Amino acid sequence: MTDTPKLTKRLSVAASYARSGAFLADIGTDHAYIPIYLFKKGKIRGAVASDINEGPLMRARANLLRYKADGGITLNLSNGLDGIEKFSPDDILILGMGGELICDIISRAEFTKNKNIRLILQPMTHPEILRSFLSENGYSITDEAIIEEDKIYQVMVATYTGESCSLSPMELLFGRLNLSQGGEALVSLLKHHREILEARQRGRQSATANADNPYEDLLLSEINKKLTDLTKEI
């Protein structure tokens, strides 16, 4: 048995954004793999692993004992970030939930409007809704990444600044930083969404009404343009 859990690529990327010496809140923890890994590696000083259901906390408790991390990680039964403020977390991890649910969790936690708190987020769906919420409510996206694993994931890091900003449809869907950084994972994500939009476009064209969708047609054009530019760079 290893002394730390083995993290998937997605979890490793998310874990890499935790700051040294931070106290981490892992929301929707499931197995508590990331807090255990970071605590055993000595990167964080401690953590609270929280979930809305008892089942994940039972699995987390078994892992705390297995990896001898129960001295530094507290388990907590709560809905989202409810009651987490009392732990004074520096970094907050919310992974594997829908973008809309992550928005709801953050919106109900006023204490996250703190420039010293880092949010590490990985939406399973609707990253554009999450980015829109963050940018409109004063949270600045300071880093982000695209990870190819069994599927394509996006991880983003945000901190409250109090300043709102406007993002284009491309930036909402793919991330301003991701678009500027390029890379093979971005190409894969762009192609994935191109396939979806082209299928929708074909469906509209074969229908007898509502054949036009200016928003999706423009987005498809922007995706093709970006793919052409990235191909030239490669």
**pLDDT number for residue 137:** 97
The answer to whether 38 and 11 have CB atoms below 8 angstroms apart is no
The answer to whether 56 and 29 have CB atoms below 8 angstroms apart is yes
- CA dist., res. 37 & res. 47, Å (int): 11
Measured at the CA of 75, the angle between CA 74 and CA 81, to 5 degrees, comes to 105
Measured at the CA of 95, the angle between CA 108 and CA 165, to 5 degrees, comes to 60
In the three-class reduction of DSSP (H, G, I as helix; E, B as strand; rest coil), residue 79 is classed as coil
* Closest C-alpha to 179, from 192, 170, 169, 166: 170
The answer to whether 44 and 38 have CB atoms below 8 angstroms apart is yes
Domain extents in the chain = 9-167, 184-233
CB atoms within 10 A of CB 110: 10
What fold is seen in the domain 9-167? Rossmann fold (3.40.50)
The answer to whether 139 and 119 have CB atoms below 8 angstroms apart is yes
Q: CA quadruple 102, 98, 219, 156: dihedral positive or negative?
A: positive
**pLDDT number for residue 1:** 46
Q: What are the φ and ψ backbone dihedral angles of 87, each rounded to 5 degrees?
A: -85, -10
Task: Output the tens digit of pLDDT for each of the chain's 234 residues.
Answer: 458 999 999 999 999 999 999 999 999 998 999 999 999 999 999 999 999 999 999 999 999 999 999 899 999 999 999 999 999 999 999 999 999 999 999 999 999 999 999 999 999 999 999 999 999 999 999 999 999 999 999 999 999 999 999 999 999 999 999 999 999 999 999 999 999 999 988 887 776 556 678 889 899 999 999 999 998 765
Can you name the residues that pair with 95 across neighbouring β-strands? 122
Q: DSSP string of 82-114? A: TTGGGG--SEEEEEEEEHHHHHHHHHT-GGG--
Contacting residues for 146 by C-beta, under 8 A, at least 6 apart = 152, 153, 154, 174, 175, 178, 183, 185, 186, 188, 189
